[in-house]
Copies of this chain bind each other. A is one copy, B any other.
Amino acid sequence: MQASPELKKVGQQAFEGADHLHSATVHLLRGLRIRDRESGIGPAQLSALSVLVFAGPKSLAELAQAEQVKPPTMSRIVAGLVRGKLAYMATNKDDRRAVVISATTKGINLMQEARVRRVESLARAVAALHESEIVLLRKAARIMEELSRKV
Contact = CB atoms under 8 A, between A and B. Distances in A.
Interface stretch (A71-79, A82-90, A93-101, A123-131): A123-131
A20 B7 CA distance: 29
14 contacts: A1-B112, A4-B120, A10-B126, A18-B125, A19-B123, A21-B138, A23-B141, A23-B145, A24-B140, A24-B145, A24-B148, A28-B151, A31-B151, A122-B151
Given A4-B120, A22-B119, 17 more contacts: A1-B112, A1-B116, A2-B112, A15-B123, A17-B123, A17-B134, A18-B122, A19-B123, A24-B141, A27-B148, A28-B151, A30-B68, A30-B148, A124-B151, A128-B150, A137-B140, A137-B144
